[in-house]
Each structure stands twice: as structure tokens, then as C-alpha cells.
């Protein structure tokens, strides 16, 4: 008689996918993430007894745990197949304890991708729970609890309720605040540039050369006088080609994505916030029903990784596909080196099969799933392709002792660029080749332009650049980047302005308190060193209790001093122009976990609140009411009538104010993007015009 087997995963979607791969002898259930954790109502760490965690069954998970225990008793074998990382290992450890499974038994199953072959292979190779991974997770969790549950009450008492501090979030907030201070303290420096439009006489082709200096040495133009002197000299000068340097340049493909680089590229290309990227990636990993013979399959490998490793069979499949599709000359198998701290048991993020082409399954995916899958597929395919080759040309031109330089390039062999071009390379792709030029050849001055410039302050962080900064400094790990940004925004320390992350007064105040009282907590080097120690726990080189015993004494000392020294700080709420209709006071802006709203400053006598009304300036074509900017439940912006739900007018494209359709007098809408346009809302009217160059 066949043995009954129970397989426990984290999510119902994953359970549904895996259930289809296994026979009737298997029951597949989801733990819905952690079932056992530290309590929310208290720190849950016994500091006096060697930092022992006090784990409890999470509220609301009791019934599920009872069901799991019931199924575990019925089963002959129980496999714990939670995610293949520290967090997943800890969940499996808690499940093993709760279900009376011997943690030394071969009960742990991990797979990097959810495909039939990967799942079946993993079940044939179970292992015992890796306590080094569990301890690394426990150390991180306990450390974060101690920091968060002891500093946060000080912030609540001295600033306002609802604030929090954390090892990673506080450093991230400090980075954003420091950058804002750099911007505010920045002193612009004036400089000038001269661009000469020159014509090559034989081909009659124009090209642009930039002023470089005097007699081959670089010289900066610092003001209008210096620039005018050069411009006056140019008018009667002969422009002679002094040097022509021709060459070839190779551009190598980027490695496949890690969590960090995927979040950065999705932010640059699609303006996805990090948390959105991870949500979409999760659905692609857990499984999508493609129908037909394939059925439900995980489309990408595990998406929380900092490894660049590629499995040999995945590379072999890619080489075969690329050779057949593009030819041998386009293929160059590569293995990329992961950084020292990477969890190399994982792979990089790649498609589970390169033969599942994005275009072939577009109708089975949502628009966002398609975009992200296409990005992952193309980046992986490109990583195994030949380098792109450019013909390059650099020219030095003399004009009466003034040196000008010009450069151009032309793609000779596209290589990997046939499939994928990174967002940061898009501009370079458009560089033109110079006309054929020879040394000692005279070229003609057609025109010249002098421009005044000022040095620019460093740019504010975006999701992409903050994630890159955190990763480069060794702060946090793949699983923490997205939730860190979400937390500092939801706490009101940072607001989004278009793509930029801008610190609020609250962000500055809390950062100053931490800088003055908990230096280590917001110190980049200290936090990075702590991450390295946590990695050593994972590698079995360091006992996790040692980290806590070294950290806590000085932290406790800082805590006691802060409780005495930090003074109460009153942050004044930003006043609006909206008058409270109940008591006549001017309402103020408040922040909740759902975003900004208006509240009466007379609380608790007056408890009036209202949503922030953002007008577009355009009128509803159905009833004449104001069209307002609104947000869907998922946070997507749309435009609707102020009289909703009585009036059902609603559009996704932005209404154009102060302009009616020139053909029918109707409402005009603006569609953004590469193919942006202004078009008429009236379906019977076909008016539209390109957005490019439009003043809107």
C-alpha cells in the first residue's frame, strides 16, 4: 500500500501549482507564511535569559495549525517545502516543532523553481533542517525586535505615536535625509560649453565637436568672458583635423537579475515600485496556468536572491535555443561570479524554461506580469549571448590653437543587443557615427553654440538608486529592500514626489534623535558589519547569541541615556486652505497607513476628517461636475466625477484642462508614454494629435 504524504508550502497559489504535479498519495497544504512567531503585543525576547525568543502561535492561525496537525497525523511522511531562504527555513523549523517532526529527520524539501521536474527531483532528495539558516533568521529577528521595541516607545513619547525605528529602515531614512542636506547645502558652480557644428566638405555631412581646451590640454570655461574670447577666435579660424583614432569597442551583456537589479531595472523601465515588482515576481514564481499540455507552471526561479549562478541544464537549454534562433555567432555561454556575501545555493532570477517565450504566453498573463516576465526572459537570454561590437571614432580638431573633440560610434555587430538593452544604455544606443574624416583635412564651421551651465546637486534617491545604495553598502538583504522602502513611506518619514524619495520634517526629526542618541543604529558601516556577522551565522562560523551579547550592553547604555536626554518635540501639522465646515478652523494634513487625509486641528472637540480633494481643472462631460484625481483599491490613479456614484464618469487617462476638442468641443484626454497623444473622449469624434512637443 502506497504511503500517504503531506507536503507543506507557504502560499495557496504555490500549493495549487504543486498539487497538479503530484499523485493522489500527496496532500499539499499552505501554512500561509509564518504560523509561529514573536508576539506583536510585546518584545517577546527574554533578554535576561540569553535572549531566548518567546514564540507563540500567531493570532488567527490556530485553526489552520489544528488542520495541519490533523493531516500530519494521517500522513506517513511529512515534507516541509517552504521557501528556500532563511525565512523559509525558520518557518519549516517552527512547523516541525508544532507537528512533532524530528528536525534531524529528512523532512526538508527545497526547490528553486516550481516546475514538475524540479518539484519531483526535490522530493527525492530531502534533507534535515539547516539550523545555521534558522539561527541566522532568529538572530536577525531578535536583533530587529530589540531595536524596534525599545527605541520606538521613545519616539512615541517624545515625538508622536505610531513611529518606529529599525536596523535597516533607520539607515535608509538617514541616507535619504543626508542626501537632502547635501542638496540644500550645495553651491552651484558656473561653467560654459561651446559646441561647433562642422561640415565635412566631401560628404557634405554635418557633425558636432565640443570645445576641449588649448593646444591639446583641457581647459575649463568658467564665465562668459572666457567663452566669448574663444568664440571670437573661432570665427576666423581654420578647423583642421589633427588626429583620427578609429577602433572597436565591445559591450558585454549584464548578468541575469538578482532581486536588487530586477527591482532597479523595473523601476527605471516601467516605474514599478520595489514592492510591486516583488508582488508580480511572486505570482510568476508560484505558477501561472498556461493551458494546453503545459498547464500550471512556475515561470521564473525564486525571486529573493543575490546570487548570479545559473544551473548547468538551464544554460545548456539557453545555448540550444539561442543557437537555433540567432545562429552560433550570437552565442557565448557565460558564468557570472556572485559577490562574496551572496547565498550561492540559490540561482539568479531566470525563466524556468527559455523555450516559454514571452510573446507566446502574453494572452495568459496580466499586462504587468508580461512586462516583468519579458524583462527577466530577455535579460537571461542576453546574458548567454555574444558581446555587441561598435566601430568607434574619436577626432581631435585644432582651430587656431583651440582644441575641439568629437566622437561617434556605430554598431557593427548587435550580439546580445538583438534581445535586450539595459535602461541605462538606451541613450548610447542612439549615438551616430562621424562622417569619414582624415588627418590634416580641413572642415568648415557651420555654426556654434555657447551655453552657460551650473553644476547640479546630487539627485534625490528613487526606489532604484536607494536599493543600489543599500546593496552596495551591504545594508539589508534581498528580502528587505522592498519592505524597507514601504515602511519608511508608510511611517511618514519619506514621501514620494514623482519617482523621488523626499524626506519629511518627521524623517529629519527622528533621524536626528537616532544620530544623537543611537549612533550605531544609523551608522552605515556598523549596520553592514552586522549583516556580515549574520552571514557568518548562516555559514556556521559564528554562534548567533554571541552577536546579541556583544551588541546589547552598549545599546542598553544608549537606551537609558536617551530616555533621560531626548526632549519632547512638537511637529506642527501642515495647514491646508480647506476650512472645517463644522467649526471654521483651517484643516491640517494628517497621515495614516492609507495615505494623507484632512483633519480638523480642534480634535478631540471636533473630530471632522475628509479625503484630500485633488481637482484636475476639467469638467465632467456627463454632468458638468469637477473631475477629480482618485485612487483605486490597488492604488492606481484614475479620474472620476465629484458626483460619483450618482455620475458614473471615469477614465484612466488624464483630462486636459482649459482646452476643448477643436472638432466637437468635447473633453480632451492625455495618454502618456512613448506613443503619448491627446485625443477626444467622445467615441464618435476621431480627433487626436501626438503628445511629443506638446506644451502639456
- pLDDT tens digit string along 95-140? 999 999 998 999 999 999 999 999 999 999 999 999 999 999 999 9
If you average pLDDT over each of 15-24, 62-71, 493-502, 628-637, which comes out highest? 62-71
Which residues lie below 8 Å from residue 148, measured CB to CB, with a gap of 6+?
A: 164, 165, 166
Rounded CA-CA distance 681/670 in Å is 10
Percent of the chain at pLDDT exceeding 70: 95
pLDDT at 235: 87
Beta bridge partners of 234: none
Rounded CA-CA distance 155/556 in Å is 16
Does residue 313 have a pLDDT over 50?
Answer: yes
pLDDT at 692: 57
Rounded CA-CA distance 631/627 in Å is 13
What are the pLDDT digits (tens) for 637-691?
Answer: 889 998 888 888 999 899 998 899 999 989 999 987 666 789 999 888 889 888 7
Of 79, 129, 62, 69, nearest to 99 (Cα)? Answer: 69
Largest CA distance in the chain: 100
Which residues lie below 8 Å from residue 278, measured CB to CB, with a gap of 6+?
A: 259, 263, 303, 482
Q: pLDDT confidence of 569, banded at 50, 70, 90?
A: confident
Q: What is the pTM of this model?
A: 0.81
Number of CB atoms found within 10 A of residue 395's CB: 25
DSSP state of 666: -
Go through the chain and tell me how many residues it has. 696
Q: Strands (DSSP E) along 130-258, which ranges?
A: 190-200, 205-214, 217-218, 239-251
**Residues involved in catalysis:** 302
Percent of the chain at pLDDT exceeding 90: 71
What are the pLDDT digits (tens) for 337-374?
Answer: 877 656 556 799 999 999 999 999 999 999 999 999 99
Mean pLDDT value of segment 262-267: 94
What are the pLDDT digits (tens) for 199-247?
Answer: 999 999 999 999 999 999 999 999 999 999 999 999 889 999 999 999 9
Task: Record the cell numbers describing residue 376, joined without a space.
Answer: 527577466
* Helical residues (DSSP H) of 473-523, grouped into ranges: 481-490, 505-517
Rounded CA-CA distance 415/384 in Å is 10
Amino acid at each position: 500500500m502506497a504511503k500517504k504524504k503531506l507536503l507543506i508550502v507557504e502560499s495557496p497559489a504555490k500549493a495549487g501549482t504543486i498539487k497538479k504535479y503530484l499523485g493522489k498519495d500527496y496532500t499539499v497544504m499552505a501554512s500561509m507564511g509564518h504560523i509561529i512567531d514573536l508576539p506583536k503585543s510585546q518584545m517577546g525576547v527574554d533578554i535576561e535569559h540569553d535572549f531566548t525568543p518567546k514564540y507563540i502561535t500567531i493570532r488567527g492561525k490556530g485553526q489552520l495549525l489544528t488542520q495541519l496537525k490533523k493531516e500530519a497525523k494521517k500522513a506517513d511522511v511529512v515534507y516541509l517545502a517552504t521557501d528556500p531562504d532563511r525565512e523559509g527555513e525558520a518557518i519549516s523549523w517552527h512547523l516541525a516543532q508544532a507537528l512533532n517532526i524530528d528536525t534531524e529527520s529528512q523532512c526538508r524539501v527545497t526547490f528553486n523553481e516550481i516546475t514538475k521536474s524540479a518539484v519531483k527531483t526535490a522530493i527525492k532528495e530531502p534533507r534535515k533542517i539547516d539550523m545555521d539558516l534558522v539561527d541566522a533568521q532568529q538572530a536577525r529577528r531578535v536583533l530587529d525586535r530589540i531595536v524596534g521595541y525599545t527605541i520606538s516607545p521613545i519616539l512615541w513619547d517624545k515625538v508622536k505615536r505610531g513611529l518606529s525605528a529599525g536596523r535597516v529602515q533607520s539607515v535608509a531614512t538617514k541616507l535619504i535625509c543626508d542626501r537632502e542636506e547635501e542638496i540644500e547645502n550645495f553651491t552651484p558652480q558656473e561653467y560654459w560649453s561651446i559646441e561647433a557644428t562642422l561640415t565635412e566638405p566631401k560628404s557634405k555631412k554635418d557633425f558636432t565637436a565640443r570645445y576641449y581646451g588649448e593646444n591639446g590640454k583641457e581647459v575649463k570655461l568658467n564665465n562668459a568672458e572666457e567663452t566669448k574670447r574663444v568664440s571670437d577666435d573661432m570665427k576666423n579660424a581654420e578647423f583642421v583635423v589633427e588626429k583620427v583614432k578609429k577602433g572597436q569597442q565591445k559591450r558585454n551583456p549584464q548578468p541575469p537579475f538578482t532581486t536588487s537589479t530586477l527591482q532597479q531595472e523595473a523601476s527605471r523601465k516601467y516605474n514599478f515600485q520595489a514592492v510591486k515588482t516583488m508582488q508580480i515576481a511572486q505570482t510568476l514564481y508560484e505558477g501561472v496556468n498556461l493551458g494546453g499540455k503545459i498547464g500550471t507552471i512556475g515561470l521564473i526561479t525564486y525571486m529573493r536572491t543575490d546570487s548570479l549562478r545559473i544551473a548547468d541544464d538551464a544554460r545548456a537549454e539557453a545555448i540550444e535555443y539561442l543557437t537555433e534562433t540567432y545562429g552560433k555567432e550570437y552565442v557565448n555561454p557565460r558564468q557570472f561570479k556572485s559577490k562574496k556575501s551572496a547565498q550561492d545555493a540559490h540561482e539568479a532570477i531566470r525563466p524556468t524554461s527559455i523555450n516559454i517565450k514571452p510573446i507566446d504566453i502574453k494572452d495568459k498573463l496580466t499586462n504587468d506580469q508580461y512586462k516583468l516576465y519579458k524583462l527577466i526572459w530577455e535579460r537571461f537570454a542576453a546574458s548567454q549571448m555574444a558581446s555587441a561590437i561598435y566601430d568607434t571614432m574619436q577626432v581631435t580638431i585644432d582651430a587656431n590653437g583651440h582644441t575641439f573633440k568629437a566622437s561617434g560610434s556605430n554598431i557593427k555587430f548587435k550580439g546580445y543587443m538583438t534581445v535586450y538593452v539595459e535602461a541605462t544604455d538606451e541613450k548610447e544606443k542612439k549615438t551616430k557615427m562621424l562622417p569619414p574624416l582624415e588627418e590634416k583635412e580641413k572642415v568648415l564651421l557651420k555654426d556654434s553654440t555657447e551655453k552657460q551651465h551650473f553644476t547640479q546637486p546630487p539627485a534625490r534617491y528613487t526606489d532604484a538608486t536607494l536599493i543600489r545604495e543599500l546593496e552596495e553598502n551591504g545594508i539589508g538583504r534581498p528580502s528587505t529592500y522592498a519592505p524597507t522602502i514601504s515602511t519608511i513611506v508608510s511611517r511618514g518619514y519619506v514621501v514620494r514626489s514623482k519617482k523621488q524619495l523626499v524626506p519629511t520634517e518627521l524623517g529629519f526629526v527622528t533621524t536626528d534623535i537616532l544620530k544623537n542618541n543611537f549612533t550605531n543604529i544609523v551608522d552605515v558601516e556598523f549596520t553592514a558589519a552586522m549583516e556580515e556577522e549574520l552571514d557568518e551565522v548562516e555559514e556556521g562560523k559564528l554562534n548567533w547569541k554571541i552577536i546579541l551579547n556583544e551588541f546589547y550592553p552598549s545599546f542598553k547604555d544608549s537606551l537609558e541615556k536617551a530616555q533621560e536626554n531626548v526632549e519632547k518635540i512638537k511637529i506642527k501639522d501642515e495647514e491646508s486652505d480647506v476650512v472645517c465646515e463644522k467649526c471654521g478652523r483651517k484643516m491640517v494634513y494628517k497621515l495614516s497607513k492609507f495615505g494623507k487625509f484632512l483633519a480638523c486641528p480642534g480634535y478631540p472637540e471636533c473630530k471632522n476628517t475628509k479625503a484630500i480633494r485633488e481637482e484636475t481643472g476639467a469638467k465632467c462631460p456627463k454632468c458638468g461636475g469637477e473631475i477629480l484625481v482618485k485612487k483605486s483599491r490597488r492604488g492606481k490613479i484614475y479620474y472620476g466625477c465629484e458626483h460619483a456614484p450618482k455620475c458614473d464618469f471615469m477614465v484612466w487617462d488624464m483630462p486636459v484642462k482649459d482646452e476643448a476638442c477643436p472638432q466637437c468641443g468635447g473633453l480632451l484626454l492625455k495618454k502618456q508614454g512613448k506613443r503619448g497623444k491627446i485625443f477626444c473622449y467622445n467615441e464618435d469624434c476621431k480627433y487626436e494629435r501626438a503628445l511629443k512637443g506638446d506644451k502639456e
